[in-house]
Structure 1
Amino acid sequence: MTVVSVSMPEELLDRIDSFSEDHGYTGRSEVIREASRNLLGEFEDVRLEDRDLMAVVTVLFNYETTSVEERMMRLRHEHEHLVASNFHSHVGAHYCMELFVLEGDLESISTFVGKIRATTDTLSVDYSVMPVDEFGPATADAGADDA
C-alpha cells in the first residue's frame, strides 16, 4: 500500500483520531480510506445515470468570510444552466446559509457539488439528489377516500 501525506487542521485530526477510537478502527488511515471510498462512490450510483435529476445543496459559512459568499456567487453564474434557484439566508448571529436547487444530469451536479466542497472556509456542505422522473402524474382525486 502506498503511503501518502495529507495536510489538515489539528482539530480535524483530533476528531478523526477520536472517531477511530470510538468506532473500533485500527487507526486514522483506515478512517480516511473508508471516507475516501464513500466520497468517491457518492456520485457513482448507476440508478442516477442517464436521468434528469434535481438536487438541493446547502452551504453554511461564517458571515465574516466574504470569500465564500463571493465564490458562491461566481459558481451560481458559471453554472446558471444548472441552478434553478438560489437562496441566501442569515442563520443565527454569525452564519450564512446558501441553498441551491439544481436541475441537470449526474455529472453536472457532481461537478457543482465538488466545486462547493472545494471552497475554503465552508463550515458545512450537504446535498440530496433525486430523479425528476420518479414523480408520478398529479391526479385530481389524489388523496381522496376510496370508500
Structure 2
Amino acid sequence: MQRLTITLDDETALALDAFMTARGYSNRSEAIRDLLRGPLRDAEAAREPSMPCMAVVSYIYDHRERDLGRRLVHAQHEHHGLGVATLHTHLDHDLCLEVAVLRGAVAEVQDFAQALVRERGVRFGGANLLPAPRSPAAHDHPDATAAVVVEKGTRRRG
C-alpha cells in the first residue's frame, strides 16, 4: 500500500467528514478509497469497451404509457444474451419498478441500459456497472453432480 498526502479546503474536508458519518466510515482513508474506486472503474470501462461487466439497471415507469410494457419486454428479448435476471414490482396503481441484472461487454451493456432508460414513459432510471471476471473461475459442486432418478408417474418430495 502507498501513503499519499492530500490537502483539502475546509468546505471539502467538512463534506468528507459528513459523508463518513452518514456512511459509517471509521477513517478518511477508507472513505477516500471508496470515493475513488467508482470514477476509476468508470474510467477503465471507458478505455476498454470490450471489458466484461455486470450491471444493475433500474427504472420506474408508468405501465399505462401506450405500449411501453410491450416495448420494454421486446427490448429485453432482443438482448436476451445480456440478461441475467429481471425483477418487476408494482409501486402503486400506475407506476412499476423494474430491475434488470445484465452481464456482457461494457459497451453492449451500457447501450442496452441507456435504451431501456430512454424509452418514452420511463420516468427515472440509471445503471450501475461493475467489473466482472474475464472468465468465470471453475469450481465444482459435488452435490449437483449426483443424478436423481425419478420413475415416471411418481412424485418425489424433498
TM-score, normalisation: structure 1: 0.56
Who is 2:91 aligned against?
91
List structure 1 runs of 4+ shifted beyond 6 angstroms.
none
- The gaps in structure 1 that reach 5 residues or longer are 1-41, 138-147
Partner residue of 1:59?
Answer: 59
SS of match in other structure, 1:74: helix
* Structure 2: 5+ residue stretches without partners: 1-38, 138-158
Q: Give the match's secondary structure for 1:133.
A: coil
Give the conservation status (yes or no) of the 8 Å contact 2:59–2:123.
yes
In 1, distance between residues paired with 2:97 and 2:69? 9
- Partner SS for 2:54: strand
Per the alignment, residue 113 of structure 1 pairs with 113
Bigger Rg, structure 1 or 2: 2
**CA RMSD, aligned part only?**
2.4
Alignment of 1:75 onto 2:75: yes
How far residue 63 of structure 1 moved from its aligned partner, in angstroms, is: 2.3
Residue 47 of structure 1 corresponds to which residue in structure 2? Answer: 44
Give 3-state SS (helix, strand or coil) of 2:51's partner: coil
Cα distance in 2 for partners of 1:118, 1:62 equals 13
Separation in structure 1 between the aligned mates of residue 120 and residue 91 of structure 2, nearest angstrom:
19
Over the matched positions of the two proteins, sequence identity in percent amounts to: 22
Shift of 1:66: 4.6
Question: In the alignment, which residue of structure 1 is the partner of 2:133?
Answer: 133
Superimposed CA distance per residue, residues 97-125 of structure 1 (whole angstroms, 9 cap, x where no aligned partner): 11110000111112102211331111011
Q: Is the 8 A contact 2:117 2:126 kept in 1?
A: no
Aligned partners of 1:103 and 1:66: how far apart in 2?
Answer: 29
CA contact (8 A) 2:60 2:95 kept: yes
- The total of aligned residue pairs comes to 93
Shift, 1:94, TM fit: 2.1
